[in-house]
Amino acid sequence: MKGAIMKKVFAFTVFLLMAATLLFAGGAAEVTTPKKPSSLTVVIPNTTMQEPLERIFAQFTAETGIKVEIQALPAGEEYGRLLQTRFATKDYPDVFTMDPGIKQYTKFGVDRLHEMTGDPLFDNVLDASLNFQLYKGKLYGAPWGGTGTYGVYYNKDVFKALGVGTPKNYNDFLSILKKAKSAGYIPIYEAAKSEWPLQVFSLIAWPSFVDPEIGDEGVAKLEVNELRLNEIASLRDVFSRYVALRDMGLFQDGYQAGTYEEQMEFLATGKAAVAFQISNFIPSLIAKFGEDYVTEKIGWFPLPSDTDEGIAMLTPAHQLLVPSGGKNIPYAMDLVRFMTKPEMQQIYFEYNTGIPVYKGVTKELLPYEKEVLAFDQRGKAKINIQNRLSSSFTDFPKILQNLLITSNVTEALNRMDENYRKTGNARALPGF
């Protein structure tokens, strides 16, 4: 009898052990790496040069067997809105590129982004670029690309024909534009129909006109909602200058129909004297006209102030982000690590401008990049104001598009201020 009882106890014990084993095995299955996907999706703005990505992704596919699908969305603010919509509907890409700065973390929500703190890829990032991306001591994005600039891009042949050099101050700049108009050139090509380029003038004017008035202290107050945008006299002046350029007839005829593509064409071929544009402008021109042509024909300078040649506006490297709700996070991170390897960054810089932020990446700077670097080394450069603030100038291009229709500077400033504070409140930022 005793032996029978012992056999039953033993059998029951074995049963419990087997059950526990199955239970723990089931639990382990939930945290193991998900099944290897056949493909990953990477979302980028449609202004991004795709050829280097295609080369990088082809090598990733050859090494891993995983294909990479590129999804290009409209650039500018619409890009962020479309991505936020995808987040809201849980239609997550595996990886997406985004503007630099920690505001992107608050825009999408840090709880909805995969934390990358401590990942080995950051061992190869220059400290200045790494520190810029820290949010409460944590990292949610991997730097992508290089340091660049917005500015005034000009056709060297046009300036040579006019017998002028880069402007010494803002009045000199206006004189050059008026001289270009008298000579039959389009002084400024403005891509109003494309909309997003309209913000460039105000953003490159900020370091030369607004920063000298409010200083770093003023920016710190904007960060915590202790200074109103519509109270900044120099920002009002910047908007007034923009309208004045239009009123002086310095935009092309029918500027409302102007497009980014035609802007590139007209500047590169010498029909237009200048264009206000972002860092990606040069790679786009190079893709269309070739590096030698662009190097020979296109120059750059910051928007001048009233007293000197102005302050250059710098843009930090963009970043690669991975949604925490994605289905393929381990493989998405493998792709991010692959994209940021020095040899892959070398491919990137075969097609793109900018100063590399990853160690071991070499690049011969283009002439205009050397000029930007010279401004920076002289202490005549500031980071894009949008990358120094956690809130955003929401709908800024639309505000400026409406400004060109109404010429109402006060209305534009008030709307900009209201949107900035609403966005800060929506992101639950301190002070808002």
Q: Output the tens digit of pLDDT for each of the chain's 432 residues.
A: 444 444 444 444 433 334 334 333 443 334 467 899 999 999 999 989 899 999 999 999 999 999 999 999 998 878 989 999 999 999 999 999 998 888 888 888 889 999 999 999 999 887 767 766 788 889 999 999 888 899 999 999 999 999 999 999 999 999 999 999 999 999 999 999 999 999 999 999 999 999 999 999 999 999 999 999 999 999 999 999 999 999 999 999 999 999 999 999 999 999 999 999 998 898 889 989 999 999 999 999 999 999 999 999 988 889 999 999 999 999 999 999 999 999 999 999 998 888 888 888 888 888 888 898 888 888 899 989 998 898 999 999 999 999 999 999 999 999 999 999 999 999 899 999
Nearest alpha carbon to residue 315 among 385, 402, 364, 248: 385
Long-range contacts formed by 164-170: CB under 8 A, 24+ apart: 166/299, 166/301, 166/309, 167/301, 167/304, 167/309, 168/304, 168/308, 168/309, 169/304, 169/305, 169/306, 169/307, 169/308, 169/309, 170/241, 170/303, 170/304, 170/305, 170/306
Strands 186-188 and 355-356: unpaired
Rounded distance between C-alpha atoms, residue 218 and residue 100, angstroms: 21
Q: What confidence score (pLDDT) does residue 128 get?
A: 65
Whether 148-315+377-426 and 39-145+317-359 are alike in CATH topology: the answer is: yes
Distance of CA 37 to the CA centre of its chain: 29
**Using CB atoms within 10 A of its CB, is residue 55 exposed (0-12), middle (13-18) or buried (19+)?**
middle
Neighbours of 183 (CB within 10 A): 12
Neighbours of 340 (CB within 10 A): 22
**Are 79 and 45 in contact, with CB atoms under 8 Å apart?**
yes
Q: If residue 329 lies in a helix (H) or strand (E), which one and from where to where? A: helix 329-339
342-351 helix and 281-289 helix, angle to the nearest 10 degrees = 70
Q: If residue 45 lies in a helix (H) or strand (E), which one and from where to where? A: strand 39-45
Q: Hunting for tokens 């050829």 — which residue is that? A: 51
Neighbours of 170 (CB within 10 A): 20
Q: Buried (b) or exposed (e) across 192-206, using 16+ Cβ within 10 A?
A: bbbbbbbbbbbbbbb
Domain ranges for the chain: 39-145+317-359, 148-315+377-426
Q: DSSP characters for 151-185?
A: EEEEEHHHHHHHT--S-SSHHHHHHHHHHHHHTT-
Q: What confidence score (pLDDT) does residue 101 get?
A: 82
Q: What confidence score (pLDDT) does residue 30 get?
A: 43
Q: What confidence score (pLDDT) does residue 132 get?
A: 65
Q: Which CATH architecture has domain 39-145+317-359?
A: 3-Layer(aba) Sandwich (3.40)
Strands 272-277 and 146-155: antiparallel
Q: What confidence score (pLDDT) does residue 32 get?
A: 63
**Are 77 and 196 in contact, with CB atoms under 8 Å apart?**
yes
Structure tokens given for 341: 């390897």
148-315+377-426: CATH topology is D-Maltodextrin-Binding Protein; domain 2 (3.40.190)
Rounded distance between C-alpha atoms, residue 120 and residue 123, angstroms: 5
95: left (phi over 0), alpha (psi -120 to 50) or beta: beta
The CA dihedral of 88, 420, 48, 302, to the nearest 10 degrees, is -170
Q: What confidence score (pLDDT) does residue 102 get?
A: 82
